[in-house]
């Protein structure tokens, strides 16, 4: 079996001034790179260093991890690097939230819901208790529509059934057995 010389593939299809997209590795160079990788993994050769940061690359990382892929602009001349493994998003596109900030957002939401309960105001999407077909017991449901200045509701119960045109006057919200009431918790 003879080794073939490296072949070049032109990018533009023309004859003059074309850039190489890919160079094929010969069998002997491939065997050599495999032997070097095995020696690095066993500790006989020093580990590779990242060409951008200068840090040591773990010798047990496979080649496809340390070599920049062709679709990210990698070429055979590039040395080993883990730069392409980093998050590719810009600083402005990243959304990182610390636990402290998350707790603060949750607390703000809880205070908002408490204020709605104190004022007895209903909002679309809010989970409430309602009398299904005006019969007890109260069942958990979600408000899906509010009409006529907060006196006509469409609600969807946990079992998936929807009740439309549930009438309730604003004055009835404070009574003991209101048709729709805030949840107890």
Confidence of residue 89 (pLDDT cuts 50, 70, 90): low
Q: What tens digit of pLDDT does each residue of 44-70 get?
A: 888 888 888 888 888 777 777 777 777
DSSP-based three-state secondary structure for 92: coil
| pLDDT above 60 (res 6) | no
| pLDDT above 60 (res 14) | no
Q: What tens digit of pLDDT does each residue of 97-120 get?
A: 789 999 999 999 889 888 877 777
pLDDT at 75: 65
| pLDDT above 50 (res 3) | no
Q: What tens digit of pLDDT does each residue of 122-179 get?
A: 888 888 889 888 888 989 999 999 888 878 899 999 999 999 988 887 767 667 778 8
DSSP-based three-state secondary structure for 116: helix
Any residues with CB less than 8 A from the CB of 12 and at least 6 apart, and which?
Answer: 18, 19
Confidence of residue 21 (pLDDT cuts 50, 70, 90): low
Q: What is the pTM of this model?
A: 0.40
Q: Is the peptide bond before 137 cis (omega within 30 degrees of 0)?
A: yes
DSSP-assigned beta bridge partners for residue 10: 20
pLDDT at 85: 73
Confidence of residue 2 (pLDDT cuts 50, 70, 90): very low
Q: What tens digit of pLDDT does each residue of 24-35 get?
A: 778 998 898 889
Rounded CA-CA distance 124/138 in Å is 19
pLDDT at 30: 85
């Amino acid at each position: 079996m003879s080794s073939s010389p490296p072949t070049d593939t032109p990018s533009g299809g023309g004859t003059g001034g074309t850039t190489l997209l890919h160079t094929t590795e010969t069998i002997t160079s491939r065997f050599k790179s495999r032997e070097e990788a095995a020696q690095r993994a066993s500790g006989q050769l020093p580990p590779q260093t990242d060409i951008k940061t200068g840090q040591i690359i773990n010798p047990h990382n496979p080649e496809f991890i340390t070599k920049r892929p062709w679709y990210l602009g990698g070429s055979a001349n590039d040395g080993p690097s883990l730069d392409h493994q980093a998050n590719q998003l810009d600083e402005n596109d990243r959304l990182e939230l610390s636990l402290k900030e998350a707790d603060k957002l949750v607390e703000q939401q809880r205070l908002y819901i408490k204020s709605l309960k104190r004022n007895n105001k209903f909002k679309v999407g809010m989970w409430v208790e309602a009398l299904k077909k005006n019969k007890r017991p109260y069942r958990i449901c979600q408000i899906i529509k509010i009409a006529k200045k907060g006196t006509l509701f469409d609600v969807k119960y946990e079992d998936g059934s929807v009740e439309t045109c549930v009438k309730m006057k604003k004055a009835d919200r404070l009574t003991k057995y209101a048709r729709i009431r805030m949840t107890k918790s």
